[in-house]
Amino acid sequence: MLRDILIILTRELKLIFSKKSTAFGLFLLPFLLLGYYGYLYCSQTVDNLHLAIINESPSQESRYLVNSFARREQFIVEDYLSQDEAIAALEKGEIQGIVIIPADFTQKLKNGQTADVVVIANGSNIVLSNNIMTGSAEIVQGYSKILAAKRFEKKGYSSTTAQSTAAPIHFNYRPWYNPVNSYPIFLIPGLITVLIQQITFLYTAISITEERKRGSLKVLFDDEIKPLAIILGKMLVYSSCVFLSCAGCFIMARYIVHVPLRGSFLELFDLSSVFLGCISAIGIFLSIICRNSLEATQYSMLIALPSFLLSGYTWPTQAMPEFCVYLSKILPLTYYAIPVRDIMLMGLSLAKFKKEIIILGLMAVIFIIMGTLVLTLRKGSGSHKKPQAALP
């Protein structure tokens, strides 16, 4: 068995390095894609958000609020005379939000009443709208505390007492593990897992179909190479090749893209090895049961495309419909993406993810057994032979 596996391993490596496109896809493509994503999100935060401010109540109080928006680095304030002009600019994409200070704003403040400030954001882009709402809330709430403190000072309270009375509860927000709410820090670990899955599927899913197309699968069977050895040999080759790219991507994410790594590289590599074994086993199984490379690629993409959305990485599984939750449990990425993120950002130990490792391992074993059985049956039936061209 070991001799057969070494034969397949050596043979497969020669095939990989004989094709420049295959070697490029396995060893260089993940780095290029990760570099592209890292450069795309290099600013870390969303700035240069254009806001229209409509001040319908010109006064010292309203001008202070307008200046507070103008001084904030993430906003670029644009002046518009009317709401209709601002809405038209929002629809054209010239601005991303509108701040309206109503005509009764100043009068309500002088009367000791609660005044309104209306903030409108373009919700078609949730990232932009969330940043506008968060930044605007900080500005308005901060100014509200200042005005409340001044009211208490006028009633004879000291400055310190006035401030504590105006804001008896201090809200102290501390986002752990991603303190600046950086989108790249959140997204890059997940993108690495998707890239690794896609690259592995791309090449393992055509590994047997291409053998069948060339007629070389028959040669392997004629040489008494066992089906299990063929599967394990191909798994070992592609898992090892993609593992090198995977390790390089994690190193690149840490030292070039500057995503924090609070856990251990070694534990990330151990987890990735199990995941790659699982994905390569599924990819080779698809390659065995499919009639050609196109069909195998289509089925692999059918598995890969919904995996990231259903993994719980970007949208929590507790907010998904029950059917989607069950579907996510049969997808390997579910047991890899979240642990990778938690090891990198939270510094959790691999021991916390014993369940995920066991499930990935069981998936790999199941698909290896199924692939071996199908390949053995096809060997006996002769369906592995290269199709003959039709007679004229």
Domain membership flag for residue 202? yes
Three-state secondary structure readout of 294-332? HHHHHHHHHHHCCHHHHCCCCCCHHHCCHHHHHHHCCCH
Domain boundary among 131, 166, 201: 166
Same domain, 204 and 328: yes
* One domain, residues 265 and 190: yes
Domains in the chain, number: 2
Residues 33, 79, single domain; the answer is: no
Would you state the structure tokens that stand for residue 77, as one six-digit string?
A: 């304030």
Q: Could you list the pLDDT tens digit for every one of the 392 residues in the chain?
A: 777 788 787 877 887 788 777 777 777 888 787 887 677 666 667 778 999 999 988 898 889 989 999 998 889 998 777 888 898 998 888 899 999 999 998 898 888 788 889 999 988 777 788 888 888 988 988 888 888 787 777 777 776 776 666 655 556 667 788 887 788 888 899 999 999 999 999 899 998 988 888 888 888 887 788 899 999 999 999 999 999 999 999 999 999 888 999 999 999 999 999 999 999 999 999 999 998 888 988 888 889 888 988 998 888 888 889 999 999 999 999 999 999 999 999 999 999 999 999 999 999 999 999 999 999 987 766 655 554 443 33
**34 and 143 assigned to the same domain:** no
Question: Rounded to two decimals, what is the model's pTM?
Answer: 0.79
Same domain, 108 and 193: no
Do 310 and 339 fall into the same domain? Answer: yes
CA 36 to chain centre: 14
At residue 206, the 3 state secondary structure works out as coil
Asked whether residue 226 falls in the same domain as residue 114, the answer is no
Do residue 329 and residue 198 come from a single domain?
Answer: yes
* Domain CATH code at residue 101: 3.40.1710.10
Residues 289, 293, 296, 297, Cα dihedral to 10°: 170
Is 391 within a domain? no
What is the number of H-type helices and E-type strands within the chain? 18, 4
246 lies in the same domain as 111? no
Give the three-class secondary structure for 77: strand
Q: Is the domain of 32 the same as that of 144?
A: no
Q: At what angle do helices 265-289 and 354-381 cross, to 10 degrees?
A: 30
The whole-angstrom separation of Cα 349 and Cα 351 is 5
How far from 246 is each of 136, 229, 241, 335, CA to CA, in Å? 40, 25, 9, 17
Domain end call among 136, 166, 196: 166
Name the residue range of residue 93's domain. 49-166
